[in-house]
Amino acid sequence: MIPLAVSYASPSVLESGRDSQLLGLAANDHRPVRLVARVRNPLLFRFCLQTLGSLVWSDDTWISDDEWTAFTLDPVVTVHPDRIMFEAFSRDQSAYGLLIIDRDQFETSGQVSCGTTNVDFTAWLYGALAEMRSSRTTTFRVEAGGIEVSTRQAGGRFEQKVELPESWVRGFLNISAAMAFPGTRLRAEPVDMLAVIRYLQQHKAKTAPRALRYEMIPGREAEIVVEPFETRFPLVGANHGYPKPRIIRTWGRRRLRLIEPLLPYAEHVEIYLKGRAMPSFYAVGLPGYTFVLGLSGWTANSLTTGTGFAAGSSVSDSAVDRALMLLQQQYHIDVETLCAAATMDKPTAMAALETLIRRGRAVFDVQARRVRYRELLAEPIDEAKIYPPDPRLVQVERWHREGAVHIRDTILRKTTKTRQFKLDGQWIQRQVDLRDRVLTGRVGEQEEVEVVLDDEGRIIFGRCGCDHFVSYALSKGPCAHLMALERQSRRHLHDPSALKSTANPISSLPNEGTEVLLDDNNEYDDE
């Protein structure tokens, strides 16, 4: 457990009059931030906060209250010069919510203090949000000093000494690492997603399988297939650009109902699929607002379990310090910016940013593909306490000491694909070169190991015959054999004699009709 002191000057309140209303969120005194502003669109503001509240208090576990000891911590709020972010977990810790609001949606008053804090967000406040009306002038206030106008009615200062489970912190770190993980992006119309959710509400599957199956066939728009009914829902305009058929399955589909209230007002929905039984993300885009719903591979697979996607990369402390300094100055950066500003190669820059995410000092913006500065806790996180010893890393170190890792072949793979981009409101097509490194070799007792790395040095695919890979593929992170081969590849990275070039995928990569467990990171270029 991690001791956490939370102090509020007064409870959060919602006060309504005939012509005006005030939503005051009390911030943690130990981590002060300040924002007082008039809300330009009270209706969307209310719906988005209600959706976040629905997520905070939702629980889809199929066990009794006596068996389940849920932990709920107040949402984390981050104020940046260009946006405000709310982050929260569901009670069963299988769903994550990120509400992003552009700063131009507020008319600020007085000084704005940027930073990250917890806010008092009770079940009472969640219910009271229904009293907000778009016809009233709405003031939003988040401040550590408390809400003076309501202190007499709502009570005075109160403090909480919370024993924060390591699993809760690990969940926040894992979710950012999962968002940064390679995958497939589809852009869907809100009405198509609404049709899927309404169909699931009206049809209850009594037999397996119960997955949502995303099918991407060349020359056709992507489709969602609801199992076991095999009902198809075409995603109009969801171009994927795959030259071969791809199928990705996700489970725990009933949790999609959380975003249903937002869809009638949404402009688009971006779907981020990380692979079969891996986390998926749904970014609902509204005018000036974005609500990102992150779901674990299935309901019982909590985002807080294991090390998952947050397996650490080897990088120097100086590289991490330079990345942190730049992030604190600019609030958000991408890999290319860090490479140019700190004179790093892409794998080193990516590893430095991943380390900051792992330490709770940054969060990944899945839409902009950028890393944002966010201190999850007031004190630096002790990685050794948050992450249990990973036997995979111990095994990797042992194999390297024993000289049991051998790379037989390293191939530079270049693939040219057509991508759609939106420029000045118009859709255009461009040719994009995708570059990967495909390594094959022997690790320990495994004679045939294959790993595919993107241009940032991350594992995006692999093949191995070990029990871990056969059971989980990449849904619980790569196996020790893939990790060992990836680490060995760093020694070959700058050795031209070890590389062979090819313009076509090697024969051992997925063939047509094969279900893909993880797709290429560059598919995020799709619109």
84 or 505: which leads in pLDDT:
84
What is the side-by-side order of every strand in the sheet holding 20-26? 13-16, 20-26, 137-143, 34-39, 106-108
For residues 417 and 242, is the Cβ–Cβ distance under 8 A?
A: no
> Could you tell me which of 476, 472, 477, 406 has the C-alpha nearest to residue 439?
406
- Rounded to whole angstroms, how far apart are CA atoms 44 and 27? 22
Tell me, yes or no, whether 123 and 226 share the same domain: no
Tell me, yes or no, whether 320 and 303 share the same domain: no
CATH number of the domain that residue 353 is part of: 1.10.10.10
Tell me, yes or no, whether 30 and 146 share the same domain: yes
CATH number of the domain that residue 227 is part of: 3.10.150.10
Q: Measured in whole angstroms, how far is the alpha carbon of residue 358 from the centre of its chain?
A: 13
Tell me, yes or no, whether 16 and 109 share the same domain: yes
Domain assignment of residue 155, yes or no? yes
- Rounded to whole angstroms, how far apart are CA atoms 502 and 435? 10
Q: Is residue 103 very low, low, confident or very high in pLDDT (cuts 50, 70, 90)?
A: very high
Tell me, yes or no, whether 129 and 260 share the same domain: no
Choose the final residue of a domain: 164, 199, 229. 164
> Could you tell me which of 293, 234, 288, 230 has the C-alpha nearest to residue 261?
293
Q: Dump pLDDT digits (tens) for 190-211.
A: 999 999 999 999 999 888 888 9
Q: Is the pLDDT reported for residue 274 higher than 60?
A: yes
Tell me, yes or no, whether 155 and 291 share the same domain: no
Domain assignment of residue 173, yes or no? no
Q: What does the angle CA 393 – CA 398 – CA 404 come to, to the nearest 5 degrees?
A: 115
Domain assignment of residue 170, yes or no? no
Q: Which of 166-170, 316-320, 436-440 has the lowest mean pLDDT?
A: 166-170
Tell me, yes or no, whether 305 and 376 share the same domain: no
**What pLDDT sits at residue 298?**
60
Tell me, yes or no, whether 322 and 277 share the same domain: no
Tell me, yes or no, whether 24 and 145 share the same domain: yes
- Rounded to whole angstroms, how far apart are CA atoms 375 and 467? 37
393 or 164: which leads in pLDDT:
393
Tell me, yes or no, whether 221 and 277 share the same domain: yes
Domain assignment of residue 251, yes or no? yes
Q: Is the pLDDT reported for residue 106 higher than 80?
A: yes
Q: How many domains does the chain have?
A: 4
How far are the Cα atoms of 52, 262, 376, 461, 527 from residue 318, in angstroms, in the given order?
Answer: 38, 44, 22, 30, 36
Tell me, yes or no, whether 155 and 13 share the same domain: yes
**What pLDDT sits at residue 492?**
61
**What pLDDT sits at residue 417?**
66
Q: What percent of the chain has pLDDT over 90?
A: 46
The one-character DSSP state at 432 is E
**What pLDDT sits at residue 145?**
65
Torsion sign (Cα): 30, 31, 34, 38: negative
Question: How would DSSP label each residue in 407-473?
Answer: EEEEEEEEEEEEEEEEETTEEEEEEEEEEEEEEEEEETTEEEEEEEE-TTS-EEEEE--SHHHHHHT
Which range marks the domain in which residue 194 is found?
A: 180-309
Tell me, yes or no, whether 254 and 400 share the same domain: no
Q: Report the chain's mean pLDDT, rounded to a whole number.
A: 82
Q: Is the pLDDT reported for residue 420 higher than 90?
A: no
The pTM score is 0.81
* Residues pairing with 207 in the sheet: none
CATH number of the domain that residue 126 is part of: 3.10.150
Type of residue numbered 200: L
